[in-house]
Amino acid sequence: NTVLSRANSLFAFSLSVMAALTFGCFITTAFKDRSVPVRLHVSRIMLKNVEDFTGPRERSDLGFITFDITADLENIFDWNVKQLFLYLSAEYSTKNNALNQVVLWDKIVLRGDNPKLLLKDMKTKYFFFDDGNGLKGNRNVTLTLSWNVVPNAGILPLVTGSGHVSVPFPDTYEITKS
């Protein structure tokens, strides 16, 4: 019954307790529905055609969108949610590609931050380059807000908010006056 053996059993016990708690965190939230309604609105759309300086240097369509987001994320946060990684993505199809998805904007909401989103007149964080020239005259570009739920321990689900907006892109390019 030395100090060492006592320390050993104490260590083993705390390890088992922590493992049980971790498993409890996981199993109590594994099947929860993490979706909430989202209101999206697009106020301005503009289209240019320039060399894609972020990657393959070909002339590609570059879109600019100004948007609003309203969402209440309060009900998602529980004892096992560490943070939410929100991202606004545009989904559309073109002649070149059957499916395109581009993330335009993202935000990290930590547990404790204000969960009510009331964003107006937001500009996209990332350049909306198409792989080609498929945005011009595209009738149906759908914007959705989704989030990645990051738990304290457990499953990492991707959830799409219920509520999306589909917008058409203009038929003409804006010429940059230089």
Partner 1 sequence: VRAGSVGTHLPASGWDIFGDLRKMNKRQLYYQVLNFAMIVSSALMIWKGLIVLTGSESPIVVVLSGSMEPAFHRGDLLFLTNFREDPIRAGEIVVFKVEGRDIPIVHRVIKVHEKQNGHIKFLTKGDNNAVDDRGLYKQGQHWLEKKDVVGRARGFVPYIGIVTILMNDYPKFKY
Is 29 or 47 the residue whose CB approaches partner 1 more closely?
Answer: 29
Task: Mark 19-58 with x for binding to partner 1 (rule: CB under 8 A) and - for no binding.
Answer: ---x---x---------------------------xxx--
Region near partner 1 per CB under 8 A, out of 35-43, 87-95, 115-123, 169-177: 87-95
Q: Output the smallest distance, CB 48 to partner 1, in A.
A: 18
Residues within window 58-77 making contact with partner 1, judged by CB under 8 A: none
Is 94 or 167 the residue whose CB approaches partner 1 more closely?
Answer: 94
Give the pairing type, strands 38-51 and 59-72. antiparallel
- Provide φ and ψ at 57, rounded to 5°: -80, 65
Q: What is the dihedral of CA 43, 163, 146, 127, to 10 degrees?
A: -20
Residue 82 neighbours by CB distance under 10 Å: 12
Q: Are 129 and 54 in contact (CB under 8 A)?
A: yes
User: For residues 19 and 30, what is the distance between their CA atoms, to the nearest angstrom?
Assistant: 16
Q: Which residue ranges make up the site for partner 1 (CB under 8 A)?
A: 22, 26, 54-56, 82-83, 85, 87, 89, 91, 96-103, 106, 108, 110, 126, 131, 146, 148, 150-156, 158
